[in-house]
Amino acid sequence: MDAAENGAKSGNREPIVRRAAVLGTGLIGGSVGAVLRGLGVDVAGYDHDRHRLERAVQLGVVDSAAASLAAAVAGRQIAFVAVPVGATPELAAAALDADPAIVVTDVGSVKGAVVEAVELARPDAATRFVGGHPMAGSEQDGLDGSHADLFSGASWVLTPTERTDAKAFALVRAVVAACGAEAIALSPRDHDLFVSMVSHVPQLAASTLMDSALGVSAQHSTLLRLAAGGFRDMTRVAAGNPAIWPDILTANREAVLIALDRYLAALGDVRRMVVDGDRVGLLTMLQRARQGRRALPVGAATVDELVELHVPVPDRPGVLAEITTLAGRWAVNVYDLEIAHSIEGDQGVMTLVVAAGDAADAFESGLRDLGYTVSHGKYE
């Protein structure tokens, strides 16, 4: 669903937020601005590169170019920090400082180091920070590659922690859903482990293979002329912007090393099979990989039935993160989330709208294992 379709479906309903800020107007920041503007949100942009910021206004991905970060976030309900990972904590902290009511999220591909840095720098204000990572990209680098439907059907990971305010998380999740993405909650650690395997190591593998081929082609000029579809598919991501990767790989060093060691061990096993001429072992591995590749999800699933899960929750830190990350582990898409606090006492009821099915059943079982009581309601 692109921004226009989102807007059409909403009819005359008010947008989830009226005023937003985008801090960093590259590919992702520009695309966030574009989709939000398509939903009727007034978007202020800020970027240390004034030329790029002015270009963002010309392209229509932001409504206005702010002269300072403080001016960009003043009076805004939500701010998206879309800068390199190394600069994200400082900018996020500055945005939290600039407006005591604003909710701040980011779009970086490393979460543990970023979330920890923000919480250490601003232990009180960090309740309004929700780590985020849209799993989306473009073949075209930079602002000119941005477009309003970049997130349509994509997964967008959110990483709440024990300190995350429930209302802040709900706001970010709702805005992400309005952008056409599927919000998935994971702990920062789980996010970094998973993404190291599906994004960071593939980048290193593709770039290393391409670099290795270049070394051979220096001696055999016809090699790259022979590059067929498999080689081109395998090395496609090596054509992306290299400047973003040193920060990412350094910030996620621990998880990347775990994933690299796993990959290297698997390559070692394959090498031994080739040395030994182990046709059965090679075929078994190739068949297993083929089955896994064919099982990868394609696009957003069609939801035939939605159910409401009502979960009484105590008013204590960590409840939101515990429940939403459990949903993420079971691949349960939370289509809507609301927490109704009791007027008296220190508890409330969390209502989650999810797709009925085996994953939802496993999620419910996991909630009960954690000591929660779950009741059902029909989603209307």
Quote the crossing angle between the two packed helices 201-217 and 253-276, to the nearest 10°: 50
Distance separating alpha carbons of residues 348 and 166, to the nearest angstrom: 12
Q: What is the pLDDT of residue 140?
A: 66
pLDDT-wise least confident of 53-62, 164-173, 224-233:
224-233
CA atoms within 13 A on the CB side of 143: 23
Pair 136, 150: CB distance under 8 Å: yes
Kind plus residue range of the DSSP H or E element containing 36: helix 27-38
Average of per-residue pLDDT across 272-277: 97
Q: What is the pLDDT of residue 304?
A: 52
H helices within 235-318, ranges in order? 245-251, 253-276, 279-294
Residue, of 26 and 221, whose pLDDT is higher: 26
Domains of the chain: 3-186 (3.40.50.720), 192-270 (1.10.3660.10), 306-378 (3.30.70.260)
Q: What is the pLDDT of residue 12?
A: 41
Pair 67, 61: CB distance under 8 Å: no
Average of per-residue pLDDT across 57-62: 96
- Average pLDDT across the chain, whole number: 87
Distance separating alpha carbons of residues 165 and 145, to the nearest angstrom: 34
pLDDT digits (tens, 9 = 90+) for 222-248: 777 777 667 888 888 898 889 889 999
Distance separating alpha carbons of residues 358 and 85, to the nearest angstrom: 36
Q: What is the pLDDT of residue 300?
A: 43
* Tokens at 324, concatenated: 């939403």
Q: What percent of the chain has pLDDT over 70?
A: 89
pLDDT digits (tens, 9 = 90+) for 316-370: 778 888 888 888 888 887 877 777 765 555 678 888 888 888 788 888 899 999 9
pLDDT-wise least confident of 1-10, 101-110, 178-187, 259-268:
1-10
Highest-pLDDT range among 17-31, 131-145, 351-365: 17-31
pLDDT digits (tens, 9 = 90+) for 196-222: 999 999 999 999 999 998 888 666 767
**Hey, CA dihedral for 109, 112, 118, 121, is it positive or negative?**
negative
CB atoms within 10 A of CB 271: 10
Average of per-residue pLDDT across 75-83: 97
Q: What is the pLDDT of residue 195?
A: 94
From the list 325, 323, 322, the residue with the least C-alpha distance to 310 is 323
Q: What is the pLDDT of residue 344?
A: 53
**Backbone torsions φ then ψ of 349, nearest 5 degrees:** -125, 125
Residue found by looking up tokens 């582990």 in the block: 329
pLDDT-wise least confident of 5-19, 20-34, 158-172, 356-370:
5-19
pLDDT-wise least confident of 9-18, 161-170, 177-186, 282-291:
9-18
Q: What is the pLDDT of residue 8?
A: 35
Measured CA angle at 94 (ends 91, 99), to 5 deg: 130
Banded pLDDT at 5 (limits 50, 70, 90): very low
Residue found by looking up tokens 């849209």 in the block: 134
Pair 284, 270: CB distance under 8 Å: no
CA dihedral (30, 32, 37, 43) in degrees, to 10, reads -80
Banded pLDDT at 138 (limits 50, 70, 90): low
Average of per-residue pLDDT across 151-178: 93
From the list 53, 96, 52, the residue with the least C-alpha distance to 73 is 96
Confidence (pTM): 0.76
Distances (CA, A) of 182 to 68, 120, 127, 157, 158: 32, 29, 23, 8, 10
Q: What is the pLDDT of residue 6?
A: 42
Q: What is the pLDDT of residue 120?
A: 97
